[in-house]
A and B are shown apart, each in its own frame.
Chain A
Amino acid sequence: MRPRPRVTSVRFGFNPNSSSLGIDVTFLMLGLAGVSIISATVSALLPRLRPPPAPRPETPTQDASKS
């Protein structure tokens, strides 16, 4: 049987601060119950998504008329 996909950890939010990493301490209030609920929810939902193709660097277009 295939192992079930599992989200092992989560970090919410961006960190616009350019000197150090931001850690959202308000999640401490959720406790282990919050961990269980969020872990189960995102472990079930996330694997249903697929990322769009990654953008590639722009390459200069060849203009045949100039060659």
Chain B
Amino acid sequence: MTRRGLGDHLASILGKAVGLRVRREAFGAIAMTERPAALFYLDEAGAKAMGCSEPAPEPAGSAEHRAPVEVHWTLSRRCDQACTACYTQSVPNAAPFNRERLEATVEALASAGVFHVAIGGGEPLADPFILEVARALRARGLSPSTTTSGGPVTPDLARRLTDFAQVNVSIDAPGAAYAEVRGHDRFAMADAALRLLQRHVPRVGINAVLTRSSFAHLDELVRYAKERRVTELELLRLKPAGRGRANYLEQRLTPEQAESVLPRVLALAKRYRVRIKFDCSFAPFVYHHAPEPRVLSFFRIHGCEAGDSLASINPEGGLTGCSFLAAEAGPATVALGKAWAGSPVLERLRRYRQEPPEPCKGCAYLKACNGGCRAVSAHLTGDPYAPDPECPRVRRAADAARDAARDPARDAE
């Protein structure tokens, strides 16, 4: 073997060891590694250096990505937990996953070059086809992950979750506080499931919905995450979707909580040395603290990426920008392929940052934020393309406009 041949062989062995996949993009390429779990965005020279010999594809409409990097796949709305804020309104007697869709959907995801598939529900681990879905995704090189209430996790099931790259358990607060958000006290169940999963799944984390009441238990939650040595804690903003609409106004974060959440979380992360994620809808509360834009850009601390790096498949097989949006771009098997670039539904989401209303228009973080959470805007204003009304900047602009309307003489001065 020549020296160059030996080098290529070694590069392939290393690539296999880290679970490397590379996808060509208009800007260069994206490289995904599973060990460590990461996505690396490369420029054109980087794409060439990684062996991408094909020409760069045309940009897909206004999207940065030629296909989603991550797809959220809601298998069904079947779940017996009856959580009060369930965004999919899942119920125990809903139909399970339609198995007939499996092969075509996995093929569409693999052909598009999707890297991650987060399987949702309903309760994904109670679905009779969950292991088959994960196996089919793995067989085509995709990385499946999921989140569970913990209810269906038995020692036998935990042992069989070997195809999953990560499993998170929903625990909004530890101990008695669990019931305040979920509407039922199953903390012991969730805790037992978490410990069981940690024996068999490489990465196990916690998902927690942050509400007005669970905010008070944030310290306990981070301490619990530290005690259990979880891979990460992901904090989710409460969304006014499904059953979450009913008590949204009473349970959403107060403006003071929203504005203080970033420094509080960073202090807790530092104190307990726990990796903490926010979901994309928290972005306006992060940008409120004026972080360095180059740090945001490099670590992709972005807001809404619906219809660009992210897309969702609903239980009916339709593709939407994200799990909270109802407008479909078409069947996933079509919309992940040739319809991706030109879909008017997805283009509307992507183009927000190009034609934003005020006060987003003058915001230095517009490009990263993309207007906040569309689901919150839709619920509070009736227009999913309005600026997120809970963003501190948007709220202050609305307050100023209200004050000016009340006192036009002062405005004229």
Residues of A at the B interface (CB closer than 8 Å) are 2-32, 34-35, 38-39, 42-43, 46-52, 54-55, 57-58
Contacts and interface: CB of A to CB of B under 8 A. Distances in A.
Q: Is the interface of B mostly helix, strand, loop or mixed?
A: mixed
18 contacts: A5-B45, A7-B40, A8-B27, A11-B39, A14-B145, A18-B146, A19-B239, A20-B239, A20-B279, A22-B278, A24-B276, A25-B301, A46-B42, A46-B50, A49-B50, A51-B15, A51-B21, A51-B31
A14 B292 CA distance: 24
Given A5-B42, A22-B234, A52-B20, A27 B301 contact: yes
A10 B46 CA distance: 13
Contact of B38 (A3, A11, A20): A11
B166 to A, nearest CB: 4
Interface in B244-270: 262, 265-266, 269-270
The interface centre, meaning the residue of B124, B270, B301 with most chain A CB atoms within 10 A of its CB, is B301
Contacts of A19: 72, 87, 120, 236, 239, 279, 322-324
Contacts of A21: 70, 279-280, 302, 305, 309-310
Contact of B279 (A14, A23, A42, A48): A23
The interface centre, meaning the residue of A9, A20, A22, A31 with most chain B CB atoms within 10 A of its CB, is A20
Nearest to A42: B40
Given A6-B46, A35-B294, A46-B46, A13 B300 contact: no
B295 A12 contact: no
Contacts of A48: 11, 14
B228 to A, nearest CB: 16
B18 A49 contact: yes
A11 B323 contact: no
Given A19-B120, A32-B294, A50 B51 contact: yes
Nearest to A45: B14
B168 interface: yes
Nearest to B117: A18
- Which of the four size classes fits the interface of chain B? 35 or more
Given A8-B41, A25-B286, 14 more contacts: A11-B299, A14-B118, A14-B143, A15-B145, A19-B279, A25-B262, A25-B269, A25-B278, A28-B266, A28-B286, A46-B50, A49-B14, A49-B31, A55-B141
Interface string B75-118: 00000000000010000000000000000000100100000101
Contact of A15 (B14, B40, B116): B116
Contacts of A31: 292, 295
A7 B41 contact: yes
A52 B16 contact: yes
A32 to B, nearest CB: 6
Interface string B207-222: 1000000000000000
A52 B296 CA distance: 31
A8 B42 contact: yes
Q: Would you list the 5 A-B pairs with minimal beta carbon distance, nearest first?
A: A18-B120, A47-B49, A5-B46, A16-B145, A20-B279
A35 B291 CA distance: 13
B354 interface: no
A13 B277 contact: yes
B333 interface: no
A26 B130 CA distance: 32
A12 B42 contact: no
Contacts of A22: 232, 234, 277-280
A12 B203 CA distance: 13
The interface centre, meaning the residue of A3, A12, A35, A48 with most chain B CB atoms within 10 A of its CB, is A12
The interface centre, meaning the residue of B18, B145, B232 with most chain A CB atoms within 10 A of its CB, is B232
Contacts of A14: 37, 116, 118, 143, 145, 165-166, 203
A23 B41 contact: no
A39 B297 CA distance: 12
B140 interface: yes
Given A16-B207, A17-B207, A20-B281, A6 B11 contact: no
Interface in B1-17: 8, 11-12, 14-16
Contact of B147 (A16, A30, A46): A16
A67 to B, nearest CB: 24
Given A9-B297, A58-B139, A20 B43 contact: no
B298 A55 contact: no
